[in-house]
Structure 1
Amino acid sequence: MKDKFYEENIYLKKTLDLIGELVIITDYHGNIIYHNDYLSQIVDESPTNIKDLIDSGSFSELKDSKKETNVKINEKNYPVEVEHFSKYIIITSVNQKRENIKLKDKLDDLQTQLNKASLIHEVNLPKNLPELEKLSFSSYYQPAEYHLGGDMYDVIEVDHGAMSVFFDHVVSYVVDVTGHGLDSTLLSTFVKDSIDSYFMNKHNEGEMVVPSRILEHLKDLFLQEGYPGDYFVTILIGVFDLNLQEFMYSSAGMQYPTLVINRNNGKLKKLDCGGIPISSAVPEEVMSYKDYNIKLDNEDIVVLYTDGIAEQRNEKNEEYFDRLLSVLENNYSLSVTELVDKIVKDFDEFLGHNGLEDDITLLMARFK
């Protein structure tokens, strides 16, 4: 599946490169979905957002334009035609008008591939979370506006077979990968498949489930695949030991702490564990992961999330993270389902008319 989509992306890129003048395709946040080689000839580094090339005010005018205009790149004006297609903005040299029909055909193909990738991502998200005698879960996921999802999460009941009397483990994880597009969807799917393969091929019944071992397995497969250096995986993996009532966790590059809410007073504990993101740009010997362990009481809540919800800004340019902490502290007595609903409602009020800048992923568990 990865190879098929990769080949289709390369085909589209080669088609755009054949066009002899400027072609840039962005979303409505300015993120560059594709550009042809012509742009590489006029700028030193390949930009990820058009606002790295032109100022944000110019982009606002460009976004609202449906006509010929000028853009200034490296102090030189380029006459361009701006067109809107589905969720994208097509910026092409005025001299390229006759090629736009061909380009739109290719964009139709791109939209088809985006739809396929979106379906793949949706299929890989859990449909239902387990409701266990000792542990309850709830979650929320929302992809960023105009983007394919790059986040992934899951909850896995570990099968210990005949040793289940002695071992009772539940694995939970949240993943954030670089980018927002076909590549990010395929990369997050790869992460899920790699973790699933660990339990199929590496883990033995009656063996402790250790998060750092799963990360090492994921890292090994990632490096074997030969992903480019600008592909990064950040992930936190946690293992609930239901017999010992403990939570063991390990992180590869998650910026924000996992949160534990005390059952008695709602006091928050921040579980910082750092770790290096998984990437071929990082020396392999540096990507070494540690395990951390915390004892939990009945009714304690563990909150896993990606940075999208923490870093989201509202119309006043305020980040949501502090408000998230406040909602958790003030509503800790709710069930995890009610608490997730409370956060989602508060987040929507906080967001106002702003669009989502990143995927929102929230996974919550409470010991009973």
Structure 2
Amino acid sequence: MSNKVQSQIAAALLAWYDAHARVLPWRAPPGAPAADPYRVWLSEVMLQQTQVATVMPYFDRWTARWPDFASLAAADDAEVMSMWAGLGYYARARNLLKGARAVVADHGGRLPGDEAALLTIPGIGAYTAAAIAAIAFGRRAVVVDGNIERVVSRLFAIPTPMPAAKPAIRAATDAITPDARAGDFAQAMMDLGSGICTPRNPKCLLCPIAASCTARAAGEQERYPVKLPKKARPVRYGTMFWLTSGADVWLVRRPDKGLLGGMRGLPSGPWLAEAPGLADAPVAADWRMLPAQAEHGFTHFTLVCALAAARWDGQTAPGEGEWWPIDDIESAGLPTVFAKAARAFRESDACGG
């Protein structure tokens, strides 16, 4: 692909973006000065492996509560984790806190605009550093997310299977990234991948750069990006415990490190290749196994949990945790896996133990 064609791609895409850019609360309008770095940083972290529609209400609530780095840096860890509940990939929330505190402690509360400096902040990797540099600071940076990978792999018909194709995709993206308006260009590519150059049934007739697309010329748009066959996701088994006292249920705080670290949840035993039964039950009690179960898909495995219910009649608390009103369980900020289990318990009429 010639340099002239590469320049034409950027020009056509930016013209399309000027007319069709999505209006999002973390974006500046096309051609306008760069957006607030805090909002760009927050949105990029929230959008990692999460759809825009899912992120929007979380972003609005978050920025209303913590509108800048200083307010987030001073936030209570538990409140932050509760606010994040349901968004998934909870390490992101912990890294947002660490990142905000690093920005305040090491950068005077202002996010640096240089990619190398951005990479020193917890939770910011190569993609996020490039996106922030381009979108929030107008720097030329090569931004490649999942949508852009798909657009570029089709545009250049890159035959190498993923993830080995990533270096070639990055080099091709670099070749078409303009020196000016790099942030708008990156967001235009994201919008194109999200709304037009979709995984299935891409809308090539609406694509502003279809004339330059090698895959379309060959009629092989959906072949790219080339992917190896997926491996079956393993299954792990566990037990969720529903311990009630009156109208309350016993909740615990998970260890800070590990999956769902620092989050409030139901007591649960180990998650193993075979069902653990009542192993690690929170107390010795007359546990009743329910016929229902709760299932949840994590990134690398599927969790299938048995449900055990009991009533606590002891005079003291069962351990480290808290009693929570069952009728107000939605306000506990439970991660999705525990919220699913809580619904299953309530639907099984286990509230009385």
Q: TM-score, normalised to structure 1's length?
A: 0.28
Q: TM-score, normalised to structure 2's length?
A: 0.29
User: Which structure shows the higher helix fraction?
Assistant: 2
User: Which structure shows the higher strand fraction?
Assistant: 1
